[in-house]
Amino acid sequence: MAYSLHVFAALLLLAPTAEPVTPASPAPISPAPAPITPPIAPAPAPAPVASAPATTGIVTGAVTITRDSPTGKPKADRSGVVIYLEAPMDPEQEDRLLAEVPPVHEVRQINKSFVPAVSAVIRGTEVRFPNDDMVFHNVFSLSKVKRFDLGLYKSGTTRSVTLTRAGIIDVYCNIHPEMAAKILVLDNPYFAVTGADGGFSINGVPPGTYPFVAWQVRGEPVRGEVIVSAGAQARLDLKLVETPQSGAHTRKDGSPYGRYN
């Protein structure tokens, strides 16, 4: 192909030089370069189409959690750490979120516990709280980003709330003081919650440099920066220290638990 192109170009270049003495010679010179460029231009074009490179990357890794105590033993259960990238939500993504049925997340009430105890959701998510217990529960939150009171509801029923603002939401039950859950509402979908083995994976991240946060219920978050490249995995191995913290909280009206029931 290249050889025949060269021949073609040579023939075109030869054309004007073949008759240099004729007064009409300037005319053939100017059109000569034009035919050369079109055959050359298409050649590199198919390359990017054929390779179809990955446009996003992955942030993956694991956390270890050490208790802030003299023994400093690592925890076996490393679930419930939220790793998220700090980035504004893509405007197109936001439009889609507003146009479509909102994403749904469930926090169930099982054996007087919220399951999962730690959740992360994207802004705009509808969170449902199904009651799987045989007793009534009253799910509520006094958090700044979203105050809500779902009222008393019985076994087998559910109520929900849509979380539209980013922030941390503390969820409690007005009947059972031991019931507590945290929901992180985030600005973009680039987050993951660790499993018991501490592992996590955030997929589909556009290339870029992002501040990241590893957030835990008890203890300071770990912060850093991660570089994401298309078609590649960025690895984060993070060490968190858990500190003892009081889980004390009030009922929805601000009164302490235990006056009745």
The residue (of 109 and 188) whose beta carbon lies closer to Cu ion is 109
The span of 21-29, 99-107, 122-130, 176-184 binding Cu ion (CB under 5 A) equals: 176-184
> At its nearest, how many Å lie between Cu ion and the CB of residue 99?
36
- Give whichever of 129 and 215 is closer to Cu ion, judged by the CB atom: 129
* Nearest distance in Å: CB 255, Cu ion: 16
Contact call for residues 72 and 198 (beta carbons, < 8 A): no
Stretch that binds Cu ion, among 62-70, 137-145, 149-157, 195-203 (CB under 5 A): 137-145
Rounded Cα distance between 261 and 257, Å, is: 9
176, 182, 251, 252: which one contacts Cu ion (CB under 5 A)? 176
Nearest one of 146, 138, 149 to 121, comparing CA atoms: 146
Contact residue for Cu ion among 173, 181, 184, 186 (CB under 5 A): 173
Minimum distance between the CB of residue 244 and Cu ion, rounded to whole angstroms? 25
User: How many residues at the interface with Cu ion, by CB under 5 A?
Assistant: 4
Closest approach, Cβ 144 to Cu ion, in A, equals 23
The amino acid at 249: H
User: Residue type for 59, please?
Assistant: V
* Residues paired with residue 83 on neighbouring β-strands, in sequence order: 192, 214
Q: Is 171 in the site for Cu ion (CB under 5 A)?
A: no
HSE-up (13 A, CA, CB side) for residue 67: 11
Please report whether residue 146 would count as binding Cu ion according to CB under 5 A: no
If one asks whether residue 175 binds Cu ion (CB under 5 A), the answer comes out as: yes
Distance of alpha carbon 232 from the chain centroid: 16
By C-alpha distance, which of 104, 131, 101, 107 is closest to 119? Answer: 107
Does residue 137 belong to the site contacting Cu ion (CB under 5 A)?
yes
Q: State how far the alpha carbon of 131 is from the alpha carbons of 51, 101, 105, 154, 160, in Å.
A: 50, 23, 14, 7, 11
Could you give the C-alpha distances from 124 to 119, 139, 145, in angstroms and in order? 14, 19, 13
Minimal distance, residue 151 CB to Cu ion, in Å = 12
Tokens of 53: 């490179």
**Segment interacting with Cu ion (CB under 5 A) among 20-28, 129-137, 149-157, 199-207:** 129-137
- Does 159 bind Cu ion (CB under 5 A)? Our answer is no
The footprint of Cu ion (CB under 5 A) covers: 137, 173, 175-176
